[in-house]
Amino acid sequence: MKQLGRLFITLHVFAKYRLDQLLPNHVAALPIRLLFRIIPSSWFASTKEDPWVRLRLAFEELGPVYIKLGQLLSTRQDLLSDKAIEELSKLQDQVPPFDENASVSIIEKELKAPVSTLFAEFGVTPLASASIAQVHTAVLHSGENVVVKVVRPNIEKTVKQDVALMQSLAQKIETLIPDLQRFHLLQIVKDYEYIILGELDMMREAANTSQFRRNFTDSPLLYVPDVYWEYCTGNVMVMERVYGVPISDVEAIKAAGINLQTLAEIGVEIFFTQVFSDNFFHADMHPGNVMVSLKNPEHPQYISIDNAIVGSLNRDERYLLARQLMALLDKDYEQIALLLIDAGWVPKNIRVKELEHSLRGILEPILERPLSDIEFGPILIRLFQTARRFEMQALPQFLLLEKTLIHVEGLGQQLYPELDIWALGRPLLENWIRDQMGPDAILKAVKRSTPAMFEQLPQLPKMAWEALDEMRKLSENQERFLHQIESRHRHQVRRDRITLLTGCAAVITGAIWAMRPDLVPEINNIPWAAWALGLGGSAVLLTKAIGRRK
C-alpha cells in the first residue's frame, strides 16, 4: 500500500513537470502520455523550460533518493545528451537537517549510552546535512576532536521502497517501449541500488576509510582520517575531524600559496595508485568529498572524506584496463577490439574488423590532437558508446571507474587547465605492467602459492591414488561398454541370420506350393496360401535389405 502511495506521488510530480515530453515518439509511449494528461497536476503545467531542467526540478522535489539517482545519471555521458548531463550535474546532495533530538536518540540507542557519557562535548546543531546522513561535531573524553555521522531515520525503508518502484517502472517502460532499451534503464536502477545501499551502512564506510588509511599511511599525497571503531555501528560512525579547504575553492587554495599544477598532478598520481597499485579506489570523488590541507603549501596534500562508495578490479581486469589504455595511446584499434572481445564485453560473434573500423572512426579525430589537448574521460565515454552499439556489457565496477576518472580529470583541469593526464599516466601504466610481468611479480606469485602447495603435499599420495583409481574405473567402464556393444552386435547378427533363413524358407515354400499344389492335398485352395507365404518372405527380405543400406 505504501509503495502504491509513493507511486501516486511520483506520478503526480512527473506529470506536474510534464516529463512525458522526454519519451520518444513511439506508439507504445501513447498510453503513458495519456496517463500523464489525465493527472490533474499536468493540466496547468508549464513547458517553457527545457525537459531536462524539469527533470532536475522533479528529482529535487521528490527528495534524497531521486537526487542520488540524478547524480548517478549525470555521469552517464555514454547514455545521455550534453544538455541532460549539464542539468543533472547541478543536483546538490544538500537537504535540510533532520530533528536534532532524533539524531541524539539514534546515537544513544546505537551506542547504548547517553551522549554526555560518550563525549566530553557534543555539537547538537549539525555541521552538515546530506540525503543519507548528517554530521555533528564532538570531542572525546581523551581530547580528540571528532565528527559523528548519523544515518537519517527510516531512510533505508524509503530507499528500498523507491528503488523497488524504480525497478518496476523501468522494467515496464523497457517492455512497452523497446526503443528505450538502449538506455539500459533497469541496469541503471540496479547499479544505483548497489551504490546507495552501500552508503547506508556506516560500518562499511568505516571499513573503507580504514583501508584507505592503511594504503596511504605516512603518504605525503593523501591524508585519510582515523576511525574510532568503538563508536561505530550500522547507523553511526565516529572519525577524526580534519581541517582543510574544499577542492572547489580554487581562490582559497591559491591564496595559501599552493602550486596548482603540482596539486593537479598529485591528484592524477593518487588515482592511478588507487586503481592499479592498491586495487581499491574512491568511486565518489566529487568536490564535496575532497579537501586540501593547508598545513604545508610547498608540499600540498589531499584529504579524503566520505568513503562510502569504493571500487575494486581484480588483477585480470586491471591488466585489461592498462592494456586498453596503452593501446589507445598507440592508436592500436585492432588491439582494443580484440581486448574487448576477449574480455567478454562484446560477443565473440562480432567481426573484429568491423569493431576496429568503428573504433577508429570515432577515436582517431580525438587522438590526432596533441596529447596535452586530449581528455581521458571523453575518450573512455566514446569507447563505451561505440562498444555499446556492439552489445557491449560493461561491469558495474568499470562504470564506477569511468565516473571516478571523469571526476579526477575534471578536478585536475579545474585546478590546472593545461594538465596533461596522458604524460603523467603513461609512465605509471608502463611501470605497473612491467611490475606484473617481471621477475619480482613471478617471485611474489610463487610466495603466495607456496603455503597452499605445502598444505597440499600430505594429500598428494592420496590424490595420486584417487586419480589412478578413477582411471582404473574409467578403463573398466570403457571395457564394459565395449563388451555391451559387442554383445548387442552378436545378438543382432544372430537375429539377422534367423530372419534371413525364415524369409528364404517362406519364399521357397511358397514357390513350391504354387508350382505343385498336389504335394499338399490336405489343404484346399493351395494357391492362396502359397501367395501369402511368398509375399511374407519377400517382405522380410526387402525390409532387411533396406535396413542394411541405411
**Over the stretch 56-113, which tens digit does the pLDDT of each residue have?**
889 888 877 788 778 767 766 556 777 887 888 777 656 778 899 999 999 999 999 9
| 405-429 average pLDDT score | 78
Distance separating alpha carbons of residues 548 and 194, to the nearest angstrom: 65
| 104-125 average pLDDT score | 95
Cβ-contact 62, 8 below 8 angstroms: no
Cβ-contact 397, 240 below 8 angstroms: no
**50 a catalytic residue:** no
Sign of CA dihedral 61, 66, 67, 72: negative
DSSP per-residue string spanning 443-462: HHHHHHHHHHHHHHGGGHHH
The pLDDT of residue 53 is above 60: yes
| Nearest Cα to Cα of residue 394 among 325, 341, 345, 323 | 345
Active-site hit among 20, 78, 201, 284: 284
pLDDT digits (tens, 9 = 90+) for 433-473: 777 766 665 666 566 556 655 566 666 676 666 666 666 66
Out of 82-91, 100-109, 165-174, 532-541, pick the least confident.
532-541
The pLDDT of residue 51 is above 90: no
The pLDDT of residue 531 is above 70: no
Q: Which among 182-191, 285-294, 466-475 has the top mean pLDDT?
A: 285-294
For 247, the enclosing helix (H) or strand (E) is none
Answer with the residue of higher pLDDT: 465 or 197.
Answer: 197
Predicted pLDDT at 25:
72
Out of 271-285, 327-341, 349-363, 481-495, pick the least confident.
481-495
Predicted pLDDT at 370:
57
Answer with the residue of higher pLDDT: 282 or 140.
Answer: 140
Distance separating alpha carbons of residues 547 and 550, to the nearest angstrom: 5
Share of residues in the chain with pLDDT > 90 (%):
22
pLDDT digits (tens, 9 = 90+) for 299-319: 999 999 889 888 888 877 888
Answer with the residue of higher pLDDT: 212 or 311.
Answer: 212
DSSP class of residue 227 equals B
Q: Enumerate the domain spans of the chain.
A: 2-92, 259-437, 476-549
Collect all residues with Cβ–Cβ distance below 8 Å to 404 and sequence separation of at least 6: 271, 281, 282, 283, 284, 285, 311
3-state SS class at 218 = coil
* Residue 206: burial class (beta carbons within 10 Å; 0-12, 13-18, 19+): buried
Answer with the residue of higher pLDDT: 58 or 494.
Answer: 58
Predicted pLDDT at 147:
97
